Amino acid sequence: METVAEWFLWLKEAHGIKLTIFYDELDRTRFLSGVWTTIHLSFVCVLASIVIGMAGAWLQMSPVVWVRRVMSGYIAFFRNTPPLVQLYFFYFAVDSALSGMLGIRGGIMSSYGWAVIALSFFAGAFNTEIFRAGIESVPKSTIEGAQSLGYSRFQIYRYITFPLAYRVCLPSLNNNLINLVKTTTVAYAIAVPETLYISNQIWSDEYNVPEMMNVVWIVYLVLVGILVWLMHRWEKAIRVPGFGQ
């Protein structure tokens, strides 16, 4: 650790490349906390968006026409408005309206909380469509085959529909979740202390914009790269010969 710090100090002295996060205790601590925020913000949003997607897909197949209409309205709204504006809408407008209604001063939720809500609903809209399409891709004849063997409704869902739909969905779902992780950077706009926001603080303090910019880009490439790699492994692991692509 010491030698690494020394090397980067030398780099600064000799070449003027100021990578403070490697030798400055404060910068290192806050940068790592920023990366950590990105990771858990991503993780929470991924989970929440999957739950929203599942519930949404289930509601979209409701026999009640107005439930379906409300769901397609939700999807259309979140897909066709900018995620940044959605985030501002939640953080500024909804927060102030709710706190006004409830008589709470200073807002009802932190920026982190609103980021989770906005991003999860945004990605959840896409997940809903992905899950619905996955379930619809299971042909009636397969279900009928299971029915004729005496499977119960739950058994059909548990052993036939879900395993098949999940395999079909996975590539699109992974794509969307990777997108979601990239979109967490938008939380910068409402001062969630994630990687980009913290890095901005560091380069404002240390005047090392090019260095930090490159660090941020590399950090995100590594994070997204790991995720892409994991998802590919997962897709490979569940592949059934002769099924799917």
Partner 1 sequence: MKHLSGSTGTDLPVMLPFRPGAATWDARDWAGIATSKRFGLALALVLISWILVDSAYAQMVGGKSQTVWETLVKWTPLMMFGPQGQFGGFILNIVVSFIAMALGTFMGLWMGLGQVSTNRFIKRACWIVTQLFRNSPWLVLLFYFMLLLPFYINIGDTRIEVSGWAKATFALSLPIMANVSEIVRGAVGSIPTGQWESAESLAFSRTQTMWRIILPQCIKRMVPPWMNWYCILTMSTPLISILGVADGMTLTQDALAAEGRSEYLIPMYLWLMSWFFIYSYPIALWTRKLENRFAVNQ
At position 211, the amino acid (one-letter code) is: E
Footprint (CB under 8 A) of partner 1, residues 123-142: 126, 129-130, 132-134, 136-139, 141-142
Angle between helices 195-206 and 209-237 (to 10 degrees): 160
Only one of the segments 20-28, 113-121, 147-155, 184-192 lies at the binding site for partner 1 (rule: CB under 8 A); that segment is: 184-192
- By CB under 8 A, name the one of 88, 157, 162, 166 that touches partner 1: 88
Say how far apart CA 156 and CA 147 lie, in whole Å.
8
- By CB under 8 A, name the one of 188, 192, 193, 208 that touches partner 1: 188
Say how far apart CA 34 and CA 15 lie, in whole Å.
27
221 interacts with partner 1 by CB under 8 A: yes
Say how far apart CA 135 and CA 47 lie, in whole Å.
20
- By CB under 8 A, name the one of 71, 116, 192, 202 that touches partner 1: 71
186 interacts with partner 1 by CB under 8 A: yes
Task: State the virtual CA torsion across 187, 191, 193, 194 in degrees, nearest 10.
Answer: 20
- By CB under 8 A, name the one of 93, 104, 149, 230 that touches partner 1: 93
- By CB under 8 A, name the one of 6, 145, 205, 239 that touches partner 1: 145
73 interacts with partner 1 by CB under 8 A: yes
DSSP character for 109?
S
Q: How far is the CB of 130 from partner 1 (least distance, A)?
A: 5
Q: How far is the CB of 112 from partner 1 (least distance, A)?
A: 17
- By CB under 8 A, name the one of 17, 55, 178, 191 that touches partner 1: 178
- By CB under 8 A, name the one of 89, 151, 157, 166 that touches partner 1: 89
At position 109, the amino acid (one-letter code) is: M
DSSP per residue, 35-103: HHHHHHHHHHHHHHHHHHHHHHHHHHT-S-HHHHHHHHHHHHHHHSS-HHHHHHIIIIIIHHHHHHHHT
Nearer CB in complex with partner 1: 17/228: 228
155 interacts with partner 1 by CB under 8 A: no
Give burial (CB, 10 Å; 0-12/13-18/19+) of 166.
middle
Residue 183 three-state SS: helix
**Helix, strand and coil in the chain, % to nearest 5:** 80, 0, 20
Binding site for partner 1 (CB under 8 A): 60, 65, 68-69, 71-73, 76-77, 79-86, 88-89, 92-94, 96-97, 100, 126, 129-130, 132-134, 136-139, 141-142, 145, 164, 168-169, 172, 178, 182-186, 188-189, 196, 200, 209-210, 213, 216-217, 220-221, 224-225, 228, 242-245
